[in-house]
Amino acid sequence: MMKFLYQKILKPFLFLFSPDLVHTAFVKLGICLIAAPPLRSILRLIYGPPTTSLVVDGIHYSGPILLSAGFDYNAQLAPILWDIGFAGQEVGSVTAQKCLGNPPPNLKRLIRSQSIQVFKGLKNDGVEIIIKRLKELPIPKPFVLGISIAKTNNEACADENEAIADYVTSYRRCFEEKIGDFFTINISCPNAFGGEDFARPDALRKLITSLKSVPSDKPIYFKMPINRPWAEFSQLLNVLEEFKVHGVVIGNLNKDYQSIDFQDELKSTEFRGGLSGKPCQKLSNELIGLTKKHFPRMTIMGCGGVLNVQDAIEKFEAGADLIQMISGMIFNGPHVLGEINKMYQERYVPK
C-alpha cells in the first residue's frame, strides 16, 4: 500500500519540485514530527523500527541499514530515521567550522539514471552546534549514531597541516563531549578545496597518526573514493591496515560522468560534484569484493546504489557487514527499508 502511494502519488508530486527544496521541506517536516509523539506513533505503525540484532565492532545494531552521510548533515532527524527503519546513521559530514557550502542548486535528479548529482560542498553548521543539537535530540537508545568528519571546506584547509588540525578538532570535540558511537573520516569528498588530498598513502598516514592523539576507543572507519583502480585503492587499505583501523565505507560518490546510463540527463557543462545511486553500484560492489578478499579483517559498510532488496543482497554477498544508503530511499520510498530489514532477518539471521 505504502509502496503504491509513494510510487504513484507522492513521488510524482515531490519530483515536480527541486531536490534542494524537497530536502529542506523534509527536514522541516521531520523536525515537526519529532515534536509530535502521536504523529511519530503513526509513522512507526506504517513503517516500523528495525528489530533484528547484529553486532559489528562491538556495537549492537537493530538492523543492517544506516542512513549515509549527507542527508541529515545538520543532525536533526535521528528519532524519525529510527521510526522508518534505519538502525543508525552517519551525521554530517561535520566540519570543525561552519561551512556555507556551494551556491545552490546543490542537487539535481537524474531520474532515468537513478542518481542524484551532488554539489553540496560540505554545507553544515559546524561541530560545536551539531554536538549541542545531538545532546538535545531524543535519540532512541538502540539507534546507532555515527559521526562523519570532513575537513572544513575553505582555502586554509587546502594546506595539509591545517586540514589535519581541522579533522582532529572535530574528532577531539566529539570525544570530549562523548558524542557518537563510531566515527567515519571522509577522505573522498568531491566538492572540497584541495580535492581528495588525503586519499594518498603518505598524507593518509599523517592524518591517522594525528587522529590517534585522541584517546577514543570507538570504532573508526574511512570513507573511500570509488574512482580508483584497485592498485591505488589497496595502497590506501594497506595504510589503514598498518594502523589497525576498524574498517571502511565503500564508498563515496562517483565522479566519472561517463558512467551514467542516460547521458542526455546532464550536459557536459554541468559536470561537477559527484553522482549517487545507480552509477555507484558496480564500482562499489567490485571494491567491496576485493577488499573482503584481500583485507578480511576489516569491517565493510557497503554504500552506493542500494535501490532495492536485490541491490542490498548483492552488497552483502560482495562482503558488506552493514549497508548505507540515501538514493534508494528517495527513488523508491522509505518502505524499501522495511523490505531490506525483512530480507536480512530471513536470509542472514540464524533461526
Give min distance, CB of 41 to ligand FMN, in A. 28
Using CB under 6 A as the binding rule, whether residue 255 contacts ligand FMN is answered as no
- 161-185 exposure pattern, b = at least 16 Cβ within 10 A, e = fewer: eebbebbbbbbbbbbeeebbbbbbb
Q: Which stretch binds ligand FMN (CB under 6 A): 49-57, 158-166, 197-205, 297-305?
A: 297-305
In the bound complex, what is the minimum distance in angstroms from residue 275's beta carbon to ligand FMN? 8
Q: Does 68 bind ligand FMN (CB under 6 A)?
A: yes
Among 85, 88, 180, 328, binds ligand FMN (CB under 6 A): 328
Cα 109 from Cα 271, distance rounded (Å)? 13
- Applying CB under 6 A, among 252, 259, 299, 341 the residue interacting with ligand FMN is 252
**Helical segments of the chain, H only:** 2-5, 11-14, 19-34, 37-46, 78-84, 127-136, 160-176, 201-211, 230-242, 278-294, 309-318, 327-332, 335-348
Q: Based on CB atoms, which residue is closest to ligand FMN, 59 or 323? A: 323
**Of residues 141 and 189, the one with the C-beta less far from ligand FMN:** 189
C-alpha grid cell for residue 274?
559527484
Examine residue 277 and tell whether it contacts ligand FMN (CB under 6 A). Answer: yes
Mention every residue, 6+ apart, whose C-beta is less than 8 A from residue 184. 69, 90, 146, 147, 148, 149, 220, 221, 222, 223, 249, 301
Provide, rounded to whole angstroms, the least separation between the CB of residue 351 and ligand FMN. 30
* C-alpha 280 chain-centroid distance: 13
Total number of residues that touch ligand FMN (CB under 6 A): 28
* Footprint of ligand FMN (CB under 6 A): 68-70, 73, 92-93, 107, 116, 118, 120, 122, 148, 186, 189, 223, 252-253, 276-277, 280, 303-306, 325-328
